[in-house]
A and B are shown apart, each in its own frame.
Chain A
Amino acid sequence: MSKLVRSKLIGFVTALVFLAVFLLFPWFANNYLLRLGTTMLMYSALALSWNFIGGFAGYPSFATAAFFGLGAYAGGILQNKGIPAPLAWLSAGLLVLIFAVVVGRMILHLKGHYFAIASLVIADVLREVINGMTDLTGGGMGLNLAALKMGVTQQAQFFYFSMLTVAGFALITTLLLDRSRLGFGLRCIEQNEDAAVRIGINTAHFKTAAFVLSSTFVGMAGAVYASWTGYIDPGEAFEVLISVKPIVMTLLGGAGTALGPVYGAFLFLVLEETVWRNFLNIHSGVLGLLVVLLILFLPRGILQASLWSALGRLGLRMIEVIRRQRPQS
């Protein structure tokens, strides 16, 4: 067997194992673990989405919270009007997609700090607008969603698989993008935008495409989240942390890689849950500390960290030492 075939086979088998684990998980997990699993899938969808614009194209977007909140409200309002949940989620995704096209056209000519700020402010504007439209959105009192007619466990499984679908599509899109012309173009933009223009990449279209990709799954995840929790309010739905967490996860796992965001989301959730359980009062401070440590010591992510190669070298050294001490036979 050639090396290439073997590595492809290994990749295929690993993917199958992962798929099986994710599909069978609900039958082994209790409700607490199921909730964590659903959150992890939501985080994965968010991180994978941010990776399109932030990882591939290298644009520091802080618009995730805007897409999430808009999706949550669109989905929630539609569902309260009697539209079936899955259809409401899809419509929310579509609305967020259109919104991202318009906003992307408006702000993607900006670079660096200016782009970061512009994308950050969108969530603030939306929050105020939704706060003001009390008739439709409930304003500051929040929006209650009609509960689905299902049992508790059934509902937990339903939302798990819904999030799994959203995250799955985000992952498939990432894998396709990774090998496509679009992905290549975005990587060129990340490296050097002027040079990308010069080799004939239509950067405006490419960047808009990345921005739109980074919005749609987030909008759907927001809509699913709204149905899942049954209640949203503007402060929570447009919380700035929703923009920052996916960035941290993606950096944790490795920006611009296909699977990095998923690993990052998993790792982040484990850290977050540990911190939540043990340091409730100072959890945001501990989260801040994690961010600082990550930026200072692992800026290229866990997977590419020199830490691992250092550990690996240490391991080899120890094996060597043990071998030498063993009497030669």
Chain B
Amino acid sequence: MLSLQILINGILLGGLYSCIAVGFSLVWGVLNIINILHGSMMILGAYTAFFAYSQLGIHPFAFIPIAGVVLFIFGYGLQAGIINRVMGAPVLITLTLTFGLNLMLDNAMLVAFKADYRKVTLDPPLGILELGSLLIPIDRLYAMLLALVLVGCLYAILRATKIGRAIVAVRMDRDAAALMGVEVKQIYAVTFATGAFMAGAAGCLMSVIFPISPLTSNAFLGKAFVICVLGGLGSMPGVMIGGILLGLLESFGTLWLGPDFSTTIAFVVLLTLLMFRPTGLLGKRGFE
């Protein structure tokens, strides 16, 4: 029964993790850059949700679109104004650039919000669903369901809308897409902004579940890395599976080895996978 409970915990966590990683994976896949800012953008989303709830009384789940739009605008400006200038440069350049931007954002948040850990405490609390001897915290359940809805929406947008098809086209072949009349730089900006939107949305969901602080942004960035490598880059089902796998790994890892080692397990799995199957469990070969 305990392992069933852990399984459920893992899946609940994993659904949320998918939402954390999906924007990161999209940006990596389409723009071919690792966005070190992703973790901090999530924290920014979580902070806006926290203040919206404590100051204005807006429920964090209802705040998702607003936080998302704020981050969307932020992301669009960042990509169009700065990152677009180095697109196509070697990994080192793009990575160092987003690292520098991340230092600035982190520092700004540290000055604005202090290093205190904050968490939205819902009033009244949503309670816990009891199924026999299984306990399911309802806030986590809602967060997971919303996370899956968000990921589904992104999938639908990429599949069905014109701009979504343009994003996919740029991912497949940038030059061919440009020849077909796609404004590649603009698509880069929209894609980065969409990644930021998802980060903001994931931040709202997280604010109800995890205590957040500007100092925790790297932990979430690390999770996004692991999920992308686990599931393989640039495939939406891959991100879902990677997220749930990481959730399960952390839950069972905590059970077997104690809470100190849950992140270590994830990183060791990451290294092992990189050694033997760098394209991920579901990834296609041929992407660097």
Binding site for B on A (CB under 8 A): 54, 58, 60, 106-107, 110-114, 116-118, 121-122, 124-125, 128-129, 131-132, 240, 244, 247-248, 251, 281-285, 287-292, 294-296, 299
The answer to whether B271 and A106 touch across the interface, beta carbons within 8 angstroms, is yes
- For the complex, what is the distance from the CA of A258 to the CA of B163, rounded to whole Å? 47
Check if B90 sits within 8 Å of A117, measured CB to CB: no
B111 close to A281 (CB less than 8 A)? yes
Q: How far is the CA of A142 from the CA of B105 in the complex (A)?
A: 29
Complex partner residue of B100 from A60, A116, A292, CB under 8 angstroms:
A292
Contact indicator B34/A128 (Cβ below 8 Å):
no
User: Of the candidates A54, A121, A132, A296, which one forms a contact with B86 in the assembled complex, judged by CB atoms under 8 Å apart?
Assistant: A296
12 sampled A-B residue pairs with Cβ under 8 A: A106-B275, A116-B34, A116-B91, A117-B274, A128-B261, A251-B96, A285-B104, A288-B101, A291-B96, A291-B97, A295-B97, A296-B97
Asked if A124 and B111 make an inter-chain contact with CB atoms under 8 angstroms apart, the answer reads: no
Is the Cβ of A122 less than 8 Å from the Cβ of B271?
Answer: yes
Cβ of A291: which chain B residues have Cβ within 8 Å of it?
Answer: 96-97, 99-100, 103
Please name the residue on chain A nearest to B258 by beta carbon.
Answer: A132
Q: Given A107-B275, A118-B274, does the pair A113, B288 have CB atoms closer than 8 Å?
A: yes
B5 at the interface (CB under 8 A from A): no
C-alpha gap A282/B105 in the complex (Å):
11
Q: Which chain B residues lie closer than 8 Å to A113 at the CB level?
A: 28, 32, 34, 91, 95, 288
- With a cutoff of 8 Å between Cβ atoms, the chain A residues found around residue B100 in the complex are 287-292, 294-295
Q: Could you say which of B82, B99, B225 contacts A244, with CB atoms under 8 Å apart?
A: B99
Closest to A255 in B: B92
Please tell me if the beta carbons of A295 and B96 are within 8 angstroms of each other in the complex: yes
Residues of chain B at the chain A interface (Cβ within 8 Å): 28, 32, 34, 82, 85-86, 89-93, 95-97, 99-108, 111, 218, 222, 225, 229, 260-261, 263-264, 267-268, 270-271, 274-275, 278, 288
A298 CB to nearest chain B CB (Å)? 11
Residues of A with C-beta under 8 A to B263: 124, 128
Selected from A131, A251, A292, the residue in CB contact (under 8 A) with B101 is: A292
Q: How many angstroms between the C-alpha atoms of A121 and B225 in the bound complex?
A: 10
Give the secondary structure class of A's interface: helix
CA of A289 to CA of B105 in the docked complex: distance in angstroms? 10
Task: Specify which chain B residues have a CB less than 8 angstroms from the CB of A58 in the assembled complex.
Answer: 90
Closest CB in chain A relative to B213 CB, distance in Å:
15
Query: Bound complex: CA of A294 vs CA of B89, how far in Å?
Result: 14
Partner of B85, one of A60, A285, A289, A296: A296
CB of B278 within 8 A of CB of A114, answer: yes
Contact in complex: A128, B264 (CB < 8 Å): yes
CB distance from A90 to the nearest CB of B (A): 28
Q: Is the beta-carbon distance between A60 and B107 smaller than 8 angstroms?
A: no
Q: Which residues of B contact A290 (CB under 8 A)?
A: 100
B217 vs chain A, min Cβ distance (A)? 12
Q: How far is the CA of A58 from the CA of B92 in the complex (A)?
A: 9
Please tell me if the beta carbons of B288 and A125 are within 8 angstroms of each other in the complex: no
Q: Which residues of B contact A295 (CB under 8 A)?
A: 86, 93, 96-97, 100
A54 touches B222 (CB 8 A): no
Are A125 and B95 in contact (CB-based, < 8 A)? no
Contacting residue for A107 out of B95, B229, B274, CB 8 A: B274
Given A117-B229, A285-B107, A289-B104, verify A244-B91 contact (CB < 8 Å). no
Q: Do residues A248 and B267 form an inter-chain contact, with CB atoms below 8 A?
A: no
- Additional A-B contacts beyond A116-B95, A118-B271, A291-B100 (17; CB < 8 A): A106-B271, A113-B32, A113-B91, A121-B225, A125-B264, A125-B267, A125-B271, A131-B260, A132-B261, A248-B96, A251-B96, A283-B107, A288-B105, A289-B104, A296-B82, A299-B86, A299-B89
The residue among B222, B225, B271 with the most chain A CB atoms within 10 A of its own CB is B271
Q: A116-B34, A284-B103, A285-B107 are in contact. Are A292 and B82 (CB under 8 A)?
A: yes
CA distance A144 to B95 in the complex (A): 35
Q: Is the CB of B103 within 8 A of A285?
A: yes
Assembled-state Cα–Cα distance A224/B278 (Å)? 36
- Chain A hits for B218, CB < 8 A: 240
Which one of B101, B108, B278 has the greatest number of beta carbons of chain A within 10 Å? B278
Q: Which chain B residues lie closer than 8 Å to A114 at the CB level?
A: 229, 274, 278, 288
Contact B271 A121 (CB under 8 A): yes
Whether A110 touches B278, Cβ cut-off 8 Å, given contacts A124-B222, A284-B106, is yes
